[in-house]
Amino acid sequence: MECVVQGIIETPYVEALEILLQGLCGVHKQSLRVHEICLKSGPNLGFVASEVRLLCDLEQSEPTWTVKHVGGAMRGAGAEQISVLVRSMVESKASKNVLRLFYALGYKLDHELLRVGFTFHFQRGAQITVTVSSVNKMLKLHATDGDGPVPVTPGIQLVEVTAPATSENYNEVVAAVSSFCEYLAPLLHLSKPGVSTGVVPTAAAAAASLMSDGGGTTS
């Protein structure tokens, strides 16, 4: 299970966001370069269609693979009240044969993306991860290098805040994520995936302020 919120930020303000995050989190960013391969079950496989994501971390010298299943969101009146999405999520590290395995099992490529950016991992009431990335599509199958990937939304980057949760503690995790997101409000608005809020009008001024501080927030 995980708690998730998303937002968008214009590329010129990403550096300011990084400064803000550095100050809030007290840790250094980690570079992100992940090839995300989204597979769907073929037409005859399963009584319901299924999707699975294979994530290949290209930042390491030897690429590492993760299998990720994102399930349904928590529903009901309680879920609608909270501003954070709570959904089922299971991950597993896997050896490099994983794409071949799923193709052999009858899964087909639905789409693939290349996410390039950075992440912050830190503890603040919950184990929170902030990911800031450009989302790129490949012009040729699996071509993650060279001239291949092009931004899906040029000039705009995706910001995702996630935290793992359980059925016992998700309320605390939701509170921790919501509380953290308030600090980012001058630069961007974060909301449930699928609930689009656009860019924030104060972003330019907030970014200018952060940059003029000389990045001077203490770590």
Q: Under the rule (CB under 8 A), what is the footprint of other proteins?
A: 41, 44-48, 50, 52, 67, 69, 71, 88, 90-95, 97-98, 100-101, 104-107
Min. distance of Cβ 31 from other proteins in angstroms? Answer: 24
Min. distance of Cβ 48 from other proteins in angstroms? Answer: 6
Distances (CA, A) of 103 to 39, 41, 63, 93, 95: 9, 9, 19, 18, 15
Tell me whether residue 13 or residue 107 sits nearer to other proteins (CB atom).
107
DSSP 154: T
Q: With beta carbons less than 8 A apart as the criterion, state whether 184 and 160 touch.
A: no
Measured in degrees and rounded to the nearest 5, phi and psi for residue 181 equal: -65, -25
Tell me whether residue 21 or residue 54 sits nearer to other proteins (CB atom).
54
Min. distance of Cβ 163 from other proteins in angstroms? Answer: 18
Q: How far apart are CA 78 and CA 88, in angstroms?
A: 16
DSSP 199: -
Comparing CA positions, the residue from 46, 17, 23, 57 lying closest to residue 216 is: 23
Lookup: tokens for 40: 């769907």
Tell me whether residue 46 or residue 78 sits nearer to other proteins (CB atom).
46
Tell me whether residue 17 or residue 99 sits nearer to other proteins (CB atom).
99
Tell me whether residue 109 or residue 175 sits nearer to other proteins (CB atom).
109
Q: With beta carbons less than 8 A apart as the criterion, state whether 162 and 129 touch.
A: yes
Q: How far apart are CA 110 and CA 104, in angstroms?
A: 15
Q: What are 40's strand-pairing partners?
A: 51, 108
Min. distance of Cβ 117 from other proteins in angstroms? Answer: 25
Q: With beta carbons less than 8 A apart as the criterion, state whether 105 and 83 touch.
A: no
Min. distance of Cβ 172 from other proteins in angstroms? Answer: 23
Min. distance of Cβ 92 from other proteins in angstroms? Answer: 4
Tell me whether residue 41 or residue 134 sits nearer to other proteins (CB atom).
41
